[in-house]
Amino acid sequence: MRDSFTYVTHPARVIFGSGTLAELGKEAERLDLSKVLVLTTPAQAGQGEAVMAQLGATAVGLFDQAAMHTPVAVTERAVEFARERAADGLISIGGGSTTGLGKAITLRTGLPQIAVATSYAGSEMTPILGQTEGGKKTTLRDAKVLPKTVVYDVDLTLGMPPKFSATSGINAMAHAVEALYARNGNPVMNLLAEEGIRALAQSLPKIVEAPDDADARTRALYGAWLCATCLATSEMALHHKLCHVLGGSFDLPHAETHTVVLPHAFAFNATAAPEAAAAVARAVESDEPAAALFDLAHRCGVPTSLQSLEMPEAGIADAVSIALENPYWNPRPLDRDGIEAVIRSAWEGARPSQNSA
């Protein structure tokens, strides 16, 4: 165990359980909000309308145009809508895209956000905001954008498509895996990380088999919350950096890209981070944890290669160059050959062994 560390945490109010959506009115009142704008995506407009109906006069409008990677143009329209309706707060209901829109509005207006998280991506617990403008994604960290309250209602996840549940859950596991070897890691975060990985590894295959298994859904959402807490304060490394590069350069889907890359980035780093590797091994109950992460995706029937996400093979060299542009800390030193080996094995979808990279 590390015998020297700095432990930092963010203020959080988390309402977790089944039926917790019913608490929204009370949570709005607690924050003194009487004119909230409800945010969601077109796909979840029905859930947004249900929240509007539930809140009655407290809800002054529904903006259902949240989109992946938080396009600034969408945020500007939402800010305008919030001003027209004189909103004094935000309730977002959705995955990372919707929470991201809420954060982007908070950044520009100061309006507080209550985030109802319906996927496992984890944005709701973090002060991180990625925004896209002119085809470029920039990421900032600002405590101001942290939601004031996070509501996790297991019932809202029962209808999450099983394959998206699996990729979103593995996306969450990636936050915890990288927290375990983070440069600013600490023993408290390690406990959350290992438990978060365990909860998701056990529940995701059950969810794919029976998407409305309430116990498995509860455990998965609990795991996702823990992993999100890890993402909030831990410095991410190779895995997140690569996913950012690959997603941005080839317009690859967020959760699937994390799912494909994780076993390979982890296999590469595991040799340099034996304690982290041992924690992941305990959590996934395998002495070949990188292969076990790969097998988990395979068992859940979700993509296991970048090739299957339609990334062109010729893009590997470009991705390596972009990934090397801005150096960052990683437990294992990074060079062109190492990064190329990770991207190539992820592109091919080879089952990694612990020392494969």
Which residues form the interface with ligand NAD (CB under 6 A)?
41, 43-44, 68-69, 94-98, 100, 118-119, 121-123, 126, 128-130, 156-157, 159-160, 164, 168, 231, 254-255
Please answer whether residues 218 and 202 qualify as being in contact, where contact means their C-beta atoms are separated by less than 8 angstroms.
no
- CB of residue 7 vs ligand NAD: minimum separation in angstroms? 20
CB-wise, 113 or 168, nearer to ligand NAD? 168
The continuous run of DSSP H or E covering 129 comes out as strand 128-133
- CB of residue 111 vs ligand NAD: minimum separation in angstroms? 18
Please answer whether residues 186 and 50 qualify as being in contact, where contact means their C-beta atoms are separated by less than 8 angstroms.
no
- CB of residue 59 vs ligand NAD: minimum separation in angstroms? 19
Q: Give φ, ψ of 118 to 5 degrees.
A: -110, -5
Please answer whether residues 98 and 44 qualify as being in contact, where contact means their C-beta atoms are separated by less than 8 angstroms.
yes
- CB of residue 158 vs ligand NAD: minimum separation in angstroms? 8
- CB of residue 334 vs ligand NAD: minimum separation in angstroms? 22
CB-wise, 10 or 77, nearer to ligand NAD? 10
Nearest to 137 by CA among 244, 228, 240: 244
Q: Which residues 6+ apart lie within 8 Å of 127 measured at CB?
A: 10, 141, 142, 143, 144, 145, 146, 232
CB-wise, 229 or 345, nearer to ligand NAD? 229
The continuous run of DSSP H or E covering 97 comes out as helix 96-109
| Rounded Cα–Cα distance for residues 180 and 191 (Å) | 9
CB-wise, 205 or 253, nearer to ligand NAD? 253
CB-wise, 134 or 333, nearer to ligand NAD? 134
Residue nearest to ligand NAD (CB): 96
